[in-house]
């Protein structure tokens, strides 16, 4: 039997390296925390909530990828087309057209456009395209298209206002103040509107209206106007006379105002004078009919015009 010697007053302690990390008060080994664990602990939510949020984020990413793939494959368009077909079978298809705001134009082209669409389903109908086609109609200044379920298309039209008849290349057309051609007209059905004649005369209609505003008393007497040489106007009055105006907005307006003043004093219109020529600001020329050049009435008219022209020149 071997005798063991024990040194009194002390014990031999062997230090061995600890494995498994630090231990808590109960002796359990504590794992070292990662930066992600520390970040989660800082959040004001529980660990279970964080896990649910992460799960939903993964679902969202997967769902987004699925939607993107569906779009690339054209599935939404196919679904929309199928829905449009189902709506048509259920009665949601354009069967009626209600047109509002039409007073002068023919409504038939509007119906043809509304009912002539390839796909007349109320869901698939392209209202922007329909409106664009209607704006190509001469009379249509603006249009608003709306659906009224189950089967009615409502079309609100804003018509252009005809202000003159344009004669060009032997044809007559109604035009608005901006020169837009509304429709053709026949000589037997001429409206009571001024006639503008000449190439590009339709594009000068707004300028003609502004010109006539300078002489309100003459405006109702205007029968027509010819745009001469793409630079000036010849005005024709209902009593048969023609007034030749100079070029330029300011010069023509001034000449027209002077002519209106002379007509107010001596009543130049309706006295049988063929033409008044005011193209030269220093001369006022008139032309009488050939057979009346030596008549007393013609001489009287000429004298009255000459006297009034001289007075007007002095006032200027």
Each residue of 149-168: pLDDT tens digit? 888 999 999 999 999 999 99
For residue range 81-115, what is the model confidence (pLDDT) as tens digits? Answer: 444 444 444 446 888 899 999 999 999 999 999 88
Report yes or no on whether pTM surpasses 0.85.
Answer: no
Q: What is the rounded average pLDDT of the residues 35-47?
A: 60
Share of the chain above pLDDT 90, in %: 50
Domain ranges of the chain: 88-159, 162-315
**Backbone φ/ψ region at 158: left (φ over 0), alpha (ψ -120 to 50), beta:** beta
Residue 243 pairs in a beta bridge with 235, 276
For residue range 177-199, what is the model confidence (pLDDT) as tens digits? Answer: 999 999 999 988 889 999 999 99
Quote the tokens at residue 118: 């390839």
Hey, is 87 helix, strand or coil? helix
Counting other chains too, the contacts that 35-38 makes at CB distance below 8 Å and 24 or more residues apart are none
Cα 311 to its chain centre, rounded Å, is 51
Spatial neighbors of 109 by CB under 8 A, at least 6 apart, are 137
Q: Are 121 and 133 in contact (CB under 8 A)?
A: no
* Fold category of 88-159 in CATH: Ubiquitin-like (UB roll) (3.10.20)
Gap between the Cα atoms of 191 and 9, Å rounded: 137
Query: Half-sphere exposure of 116 toward its Cβ, with a 13 Å CA cutoff?
Result: 10
Q: Are 201 and 227 in contact (CB under 8 A)?
A: yes
Give the residue carrying structure tokens 């907005």.
Answer: 249
Confidence of residue 201 (pLDDT cuts 50, 70, 90): very high
For residue range 46-77, what is the model confidence (pLDDT) as tens digits? Answer: 666 656 666 666 656 666 665 565 566 554 54
Hey, is 83 helix, strand or coil? helix
For residue range 301-311, what is the model confidence (pLDDT) as tens digits? Answer: 554 455 444 44
Q: What is the mean pLDDT of the chain?
A: 78
Does the domain made of 162-315 have the CATH classification 3.40.50.11690? yes
The CA-based dihedral angle spanning residues 21, 24, 28, 32, taken in that order and rounded to the nearest 10 degrees: -40
pLDDT at position 40: 56
Confidence of residue 255 (pLDDT cuts 50, 70, 90): very high
């Amino acid at each position: 039997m071997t005798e063991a010697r024990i040194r009194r007053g002390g014990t031999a302690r062997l230090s061995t390296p600890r494995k498994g990390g630090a231990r808590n008060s109960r002796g359990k080994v504590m794992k070292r925390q990662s930066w992600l664990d520390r970040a989660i602990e800082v959040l004001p939510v529980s660990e279970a909530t964080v896990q649910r949020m992460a799960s939903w984020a993964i679902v969202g990413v997967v769902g987004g990828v699925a939607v993107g793939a569906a779009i690339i494959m054209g599935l939404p368009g196919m679904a929309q087309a199928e829905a449009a077909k189902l709506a048509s079978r259920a009665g949601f298809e354009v069967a009626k057209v209600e047109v509002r705001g039409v007073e002068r134009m023919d409504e038939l082209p509007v119906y043809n456009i509304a009912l002539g669409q390839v796909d007349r389903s109320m869901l698939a109908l392209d209202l922007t395209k329909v409106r664009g086609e209607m704006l190509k109609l001469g009379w249509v200044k603006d249009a608003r298209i709306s659906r009224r379920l189950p089967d009615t298309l409502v079309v609100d039209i804003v018509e252009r206002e005809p202000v003159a008849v344009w004669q060009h290349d032997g044809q007559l057309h109604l035009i608005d103040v901006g020169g837009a051609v509304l429709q053709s007209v026949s000589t037997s059905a001429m409206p009571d509107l001024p006639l503008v004649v000449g190439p590009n005369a339709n594009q000068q209609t707004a300028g003609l209206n502004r010109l006539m505003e300078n002489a309100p008393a003459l405006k109702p007497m205007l029968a027509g106007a010819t745009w001469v040489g793409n630079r000036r106007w010849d005005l024709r009055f209902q009593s048969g006379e023609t007034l030749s105006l100079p070029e330029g907005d300011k010069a023509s307006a001034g000449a027209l105002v002077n002519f209106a003043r002379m007509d107010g004093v001596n009543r130049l219109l309706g006295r049988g004078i063929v033409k008044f020529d005011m193209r030269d600001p220093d001369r006022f020329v008139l032309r009488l009919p050939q057979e009346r050049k030596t008549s007393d009435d013609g001489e009287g008219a000429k004298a009255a015009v000459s006297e009034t022209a001289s007075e007007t020149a002095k006032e200027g």
